[in-house]
A = this chain, B = another copy of it.
Amino acid sequence: MKFKINRKFFLEKLNIVSRAISVFSPLPALSGICIQVSNDLITLTGSDSNISIRSSFLASKENQLVIESTGSIIIESKYILEIIRKMDSELVTVDLIDFSKVCISNLNGQFNLNGIQFNEYPNIDFSVPNTKIQLKSEDLKLIYSQTAFACSDKDTRPVLNGVNFKANGNTLCCSGTDSYRLARKQIELNDSYDFNITIPNKSLSEVVKSLSDANDFVDLFIDSKKVQFVFDHTIIQSRLIDGTFPDIDRIIPTTEISHMLVSSHELAGVIDRTNFIRNEKIHLIKLECTESETHIKTSSSEIGNSDEILSSCQYSGENIRLSCNGTYMLEAIRALNCNRVKLEFAGLMKPIKISNPDDCSVLMIVVPVRSYD
């Protein structure tokens, strides 16, 4: 195996596949990047067995690839990345100099790395699932930024560690929840679909990080076990999370007793300022709303207390006093990323709806907390 390639191009591809690699991999081969060189194609693979990334490329003017001989090898990801990143030549040569040693060289120097033979790499099934759906990269990024933050990071209910993608007819409904809050983003599709899958939060994050501005669209291939995201000769494949995702439509209140329109900037600022007051590590805020004045208060016997008035707030409906997790509220407002937010209240212990009054495709829910003062 021997080839010459543009260093920056090679580094970019190595970086993409290395995202799948975990430093804690129990299998030594999985801490490496698998390089397969055929007559005209190079394929790089990285995997932690839950998520696998494969990138393939032919010779092109951009990558200046010249393949001299074929072969395969696994190289420790962190070492090859560091060398290729730090070398300063335009081209590098990669050469398998015996069964498991790779020589990376340019005019001034050479780096010999101990590799692992290709036959120790696990067999990863990259077969393509049947259901294909195309999304704009923009939409996929929005789905991620507006839902993934609400996923659970605890191990108690694995299905809550992912974002649920549910297609019903022409609507794709993506939701994240940790059972105390919920974030939902809806996208209109060109065709009619019917699936209900939950994609691990971490996998979605790697997909979004790997998307460059040049990728306008992403193809998703879905079956009941896995999903593939395909763009720019790169396949990011993730297992799905088993289990039934909660029926979120039942959680969303359908009636209201009052609502509030307020500047997102002001509301986020007021909540953020109370963040230092925590009760047993929880950032608890109290909303006291009347049509004449809305207060946000906090208090902790140890640290102190605060009381701030929302000056831009328009509130109408019944007076309400309730407590909720300020961090959840703040993350929801920031994920909405709009000028004004609407808060709808359905009652004292009923979920609070938080939304953008000018965009009904996104909805946030935060459940109030019982407070005893």
Contacts and interface: CB of A to CB of B under 8 A. Distances in A.
Q: How large is the interface on A (under 10, 10 to 19, 20 to 34, 35 or more residues)?
A: 20 to 34
A357 to B, nearest CB: 23
A309 interface: yes
A79 interface: yes
Interface string A124-161: 00000000000000000000000000000000000000
A82 B275 CA distance: 9
A254 interface: no
A29 to B, nearest CB: 16
A269 B79 contact: no
Contact of A273 (B86, B269, B275): B86
A90 interface: no
Nearest to A80: B276
Contact of A304 (B112, B305, B306): B112
Contacts of A276: 78-79, 82-83
A88 B269 contact: yes
A109 B311 CA distance: 10
21 contacts: A78-B276, A79-B303, A82-B276, A83-B273, A83-B276, A86-B269, A86-B272, A87-B273, A101-B304, A108-B308, A108-B311, A109-B273, A109-B307, A110-B307, A111-B273, A111-B304, A111-B306, A112-B304, A112-B305, A112-B306, A114-B303
Given A83-B276, A101-B304, A112-B305, 8 more contacts: A79-B276, A82-B275, A86-B275, A87-B273, A108-B308, A108-B311, A109-B273, A111-B304
